[in-house]
Structure 1
Amino acid sequence: MRKKILFLPNGNILAPTKYPNEGIANNLISFCLVLQIIDRFFSNIISNSTINDIGNRMYWPFTLIVFFLVLIKELLYLNFRIVDILFFLIICFDVIQFKEAQQSWIIGSFLIIFASRNLNFYKLIKTSIWTIFGCTLFSITGAIFGKFVPLRFISFVNGNSFTDFFGMIYFSYISHIVMFLTIGYCVVRKKKIKTLEIIFLWFINFIILINTQTFNPFLVVTIFLLGLPFFQKNIFLKLKEIVISLIPLFSFLILYLLIRMYGIGNHTAIYFNDLTSGRLSLAFGGINRFGIHLFSNLFQVYAHGYAGIVGATYSYIDSAYVLYLLRFGIIFFIVWIMMIIISIRNANGLNNVLPWAIAVISIHAIFDPEILWIEFNPFLVTLGLAFSAGRARFEYKI
């Protein structure tokens, strides 16, 4: 039997409670998630110009729909504090400047994050996982039938066939998606997941590694799966909460230290740069070229496939920490890191595996930018735990 149970961040359980319009609110924001994920997948991931055009054309209509549905949800389900509004206004003030730089995608995402703060995160995570999984299957099916062919990047990966791209614009996308879906599956399964399932999931990621030669997501998912048995157990909960909540901050600080060491020619940093396909050199070059600003900064970077078209050289900053610090500014960056840390701490009483999942994804952000991509990261909504976290609820089978 399913019952609604209220879990506080410290793990205490309150009596089952029925909130007015709760089911409607959950469904509205779940629908918003589906719209955002599909639109982003169509416009940025699938390698088909017609579908890309549909996704680009539908972005603003979908964003307006998301805005009005979030507004309806808030009116039906009034439940916020002044700190919620303050956090949200700081984020909106910063990201709204990116309309002209085609960075407006983050506005819809943060509307959903804000609206999810007092809803059922378990349901929202499952909605994200199933939608991402469905979009991925659609892309793979298109590749099998020869409809989605990434012509722009064929020359980049020597020897790889069309099917290695799985119908996506960039060859490494599938490895990141499978990594996020693997972590999502483990969070949903919680303590029920078996050793054979863990081995099978690792093997799937290994097959993707062989096909794409993309090592970073494979490394991250291996770290997650190795730590999973420990975080499934109800032991050292407070210690685990403190330690893993510091992972996002230390991940950024270690990365920034390595970038500075690379700048002065440190051999360890140079070796790490070679090991991570030039991540440090691109980050170092981005910091010197674009600078760190208080608020958002408009600049253009180019990934593989664009150099031959516009005459530019590869300059994409893969590290999420550096990219979003430079692009969105210091204020947004501090608020974002605080939200991740608070989310990890407040998730500790809701699901044993969830804090570990968020922490490991923050390690992934050292190497790649997908942590804020709603079409990749099913845990993006958990940033809502930073808002009014005492009202966050999960639906458990008991």
Structure 2
Amino acid sequence: MNRSIVSKYLYIFSFVLVIFVDFLSRTMFVEGFSILKNVSKILVISACIMLLVKLLIDKHSKIELYTILILIPILSVIIFMTKTYYTLLPIFLLVISVRNINLEKILRIWLFEIIILMLFVSVSYYMDIIGETTRVFGREGDKIRYGLGYGYSSFSANYFFHFTLFYSFIRREKIKVLEIIALFITNYYLYIKTDTKSAFACSVLLLFLVSIIKYLKLSKQSNFLNKYTMLCGFIISLGTLFLYRFGTEVGELLNTLVTGRLRLADKAWDEFGITIFGQKILWVTENQWMSEIEYDYVDSSFLNILFNYGIILILLIIVGYYLLGKKKLSNNVFYTLMIVILGIHCIYDPQLLEISHNPSILFLGYLITGSDIIYNLKR
């Protein structure tokens, strides 16, 4: 077996392990089987070792090598400051190790793994192997938001929204009416069970636009949206926060519309502030019974990354997606659709930097390698 094949298998095995661990951490399995937390750490360490081996056996251009050597100390400081050794480190290694990897295949592996894991959790939940989360709660009257085997009620809907997003990106104009209907029905079922409005709204918008693109045979991408969607999302997130901080009526209205997210971001701004290389933040993700401790979490991907990981990382991500918008991989309308829907969702939802939700973060590796392999997506 030659070096190139070994390199590809190391990447695929590492990717599958990282996705598995990240997904598992958001299910009730980790609460029902405490040993899984230690097993997950071992799996992440194994994945990181394999990726380091891949980096060592790959042949790199001088520019690529210099870029990696510049990024390593910067991101090492961010990882150290935020203590995200088991979450951010494997993502960083996956991004810089993307040489000779066809991300079309990686996306297909991601789709297959996510749907298998979701089915596994669903079967386990309905067979009472794992229970309902204690974080089940209602809003808008007596409507209950079920966890369906996940740690929070929104997780299942958000996973399937991202599955819908990248499935349509891979299938493109070849997607069939029955596939669109099946995706809609599943998203609607999860919305009924979990009342996760943002994921359902983005899914409906996505499937509607996919249908329009398919049947009008649109093919022209938007270079502006390809380059500036993430920047616009960041500006909107920060701008609406300032509207709320300055006590404007518009800010108060927006805070109500996004179910208090701006108030929590405002609280985080005062409590944590903004740093260059990030900081360790212990988010409070549920109200504590009989305690003064209250829910304290920033849902906006852009603001969450800004508070938690600092100015450097959010700038790297925004600039990275801008540069991706200038590469060949973005030269199709389905990339434009994917990046716009993803950007809209990330304004008030936190999945941008979560690898088991958003595998497109790996596209940033092409900026290091200078590759454009994903452009070979079959039309």
Q: If the length of structure 2 is used for normalisation, what is the TM-score?
A: 0.88
Post-superposition Cα deviations, 1:187-232, rounded to whole Å, max 9, x if no partner, equal: 2212201344324322321222122111111122233223335666
- Give 1:76's aligned residue: 57
- Give 2:220's aligned residue: 236
- Give 2:107's aligned residue: 125
Q: After TM superposition, give the deviation of residue 117 of structure 1 in Å.
A: 4.5
Residues 80-229 of structure 1 aligned to structure 2 (within 5 Å): 80=61, 81=64, 82-99=66-83, 104-155=86-137, 164-228=146-210
Q: For residues 202 and 115 of structure 2, what CA distance do their matches in structure 1 show?
A: 19
Q: For residues 268 and 328 of structure 1, what CA distance do their matches in structure 2 show?
A: 29
Q: After TM superposition, give the deviation of residue 382 of structure 1 in Å.
A: 2.0
Are positions 1:249 and 2:231 aligned together? Answer: yes
- Give 2:256's aligned residue: 274
Aligned partner of residue 308 in structure 1, secondary structure: coil
289, 292, 297: which is aligned to 1:308? Answer: 289
Q: For residues 242 and 48 of structure 2, what CA distance do their matches in structure 1 show?
A: 41
Post-superposition Cα deviations, 1:15-59, rounded to whole Å, max 9, x if no partner, equal: xxxxx74433222211111111111222332355243x3332023
Q: For residues 77 and 30 of structure 2, what CA distance do their matches in structure 1 show?
A: 34
8 Å contact from structure 2 (residues 23, 356) kept in 1: yes
Q: For residues 55 and 78 of structure 1, what CA distance do their matches in structure 2 show?
A: 36
Aligned partner of residue 156 in structure 2, secondary structure: helix
Pair 1:193–1:263, CA change in 2 (3 A): same
After superposition, the CA RMSD in angstroms is 2.6
8 Å contact from structure 2 (residues 154, 194) kept in 1: yes
Post-superposition Cα deviations, 1:125-177, rounded to whole Å, max 9, x if no partner, equal: 11112112121111111110112223421355685679x32211111111100
357, 361, 364: which is aligned to 1:380? Answer: 361
Pair 1:229–1:145, CA change in 2 (3 A): closer
Q: Mark the runs of 5 or more structure 2 residues left unpaired by the alignment.
A: none
Instruction: Look up the equivalent residue of 2:359 and give its one-letter code.
Output: P
298, 303, 315: which is aligned to 1:317? Answer: 298
Pair 1:231–1:248, CA change in 2 (3 A): farther
Deviates more, 1:170-179 or 1:115-124: 115-124
Aligned partner of residue 25 in structure 2, secondary structure: helix
Q: After TM superposition, give the deviation of residue 336 of structure 1 in Å.
A: 1.6
- Give 1:5's aligned residue: none
8 Å contact from structure 2 (residues 82, 308) kept in 1: no
Deviates more, 1:121-130 or 1:76-85: 76-85
Post-superposition Cα deviations, 1:204-261, rounded to whole Å, max 9, x if no partner, equal: 2122212211111112223322333566656434xx1222321110111112111111
8 Å contact from structure 2 (residues 122, 148) kept in 1: yes
Pair 1:302–1:279, CA change in 2 (3 A): same
Residues 331-350 of structure 1 aligned to structure 2 (within 5 Å): 331-346=312-327, 348=329
Number of paired residues? 372
Deviates more, 1:385-394 or 1:33-42: 385-394
324, 329, 346: which is aligned to 1:365? Answer: 346
- Give 1:57's aligned residue: 38
Pair 1:393–1:210, CA change in 2 (3 A): closer
8 Å contact from structure 1 (residues 124, 381) kept in 2: no
8 Å contact from structure 1 (residues 148, 167) kept in 2: yes
Q: If the length of structure 1 is used for normalisation, what is the TM-score?
A: 0.84
8 Å contact from structure 2 (residues 44, 86) kept in 1: no
Q: For residues 208 and 21 of structure 2, what CA distance do their matches in structure 1 show?
A: 34
Q: Which has the higher contact order (CA 8 A, sep 6+)?
A: 1
Deviates more, 1:166-175 or 1:189-198: 189-198
Instruction: Look up the equivalent residue of 2:310 and give its one-letter code.
Output: G
8 Å contact from structure 1 (residues 263, 284) kept in 2: yes
What percent identity do the matched residue pairs reach? Answer: 22
- Give 2:335's aligned residue: 354
Q: Mark the runs of 5 or more structure 1 residues left unpaired by the alignment.
A: 1-19
Q: For residues 113 and 225 of structure 2, what CA distance do their matches in structure 1 show?
A: 32
Aligned partner of residue 348 in structure 2, secondary structure: coil
Post-superposition Cα deviations, 1:296-341, rounded to whole Å, max 9, x if no partner, equal: 122322112x522865111111111111101111111111211222
